[in-house]
Chains A and B, each alone.
Chain A
């Protein structure tokens, strides 16, 4: 075998392959992930290798999985359990009203339900001196996170946003950069905690916060 060094092109391709294969160590992996985010050509190489190596996916045998949907849905859709009951009770209390009045009330209620969603403040994450602050609003089916004070993380680092359900592990919602972060998410219920940690460029390499947590806010404490 020839030991001629690889061309820069081959070198990039080999790195993308090593990343998909998973042989890199944690630091190299984090570096490759950061590159995927900023270098579309490299990202395309990674996708190419994912497709190429997918020929091995048939080698993974099925294994019976327990039904973990309840836990997963509790993480993702906690509001499902929130009672709509008060409104219904209110409805019962209207029994003495004339039919026409009820119709009018229902029409109003329908209008209110159909009105386009308005951004609703969910939480503000801020340092005590307010030098760094992010505002989280909920709009339609999505959370929008905007930095309202301060600057992004220093070069080579990034702020990562997490949501933490009671007694659950943090789940990453994404990286906070100069543009507002928009992520599909139901209305987070009271008691859920948002946190911002400082992570290496590209985000936490482990899927859990690895750097210092600099901001936290509990939903409902705003």
Chain B
């Protein structure tokens, strides 16, 4: 499959520094978008971006193109780092969760409606109750924790967890069809 990002990662695994520069040039804006949205502070996002590309270089040999696209792999590294940093932050940033969840509405689904993957995603989200779909999106895109989600939806944490777990399994059933 045509996947230039995967190709560049494979070259990084072979210690090709020119490919690493190209990879940064071609993908840093996307990863900066991920980090900025989740960490919400530019200085921290920039620091995290350095860490992400350091990891990308050091882990490039573990990338397996059979298990997904290059950009998916890069975003997973960026999201994991952002989530680690969010969870390591001291508690209580409950309020900013409110504003960020609202902007997690499916903007890009309309933009990229032609892409089968994204369209199927939004079709499957439509099978969930709206507030639960919203919770899944809020967690994925802005890094909300169970604690944040429970506060936002005004339900006990365990209830939130039960909801979300069942919603995820339902989502899977739809996506895997």
Residues of A within 8 A of B (CB): 1, 3, 6, 10, 13-14, 17-18, 20-26, 29, 47, 49-66, 68-69, 71-73, 75-77, 141, 169, 171, 173, 183-185, 205-207
Contact = CB atoms under 8 A, between A and B. Distances in A.
Contacts of A18: 164-165, 168
Contacts of B29: 62-65
Main secondary structure of the interface of B (DSSP, over half): helix
Interface string B16-47: 01000100100011111110110000000010
B50 interface: yes
B118 A58 contact: yes
A25 B149 CA distance: 12
A203 B147 CA distance: 24
A101 to B, nearest CB: 36
Given A62-B30, A76-B57, A206-B85, A23 B149 contact: yes
B47 to A, nearest CB: 8
Most chain A CB neighbours (cut-off 10 Å) among B50, B109, B169: B50
A205 B57 contact: no
How many residues of B sit at the interface, in one of the four size bands?
35 or more
A66 B48 CA distance: 13
Contacts of A23: 139, 144-146, 149, 164
B104 A59 contact: yes
Nearest to A206: B88
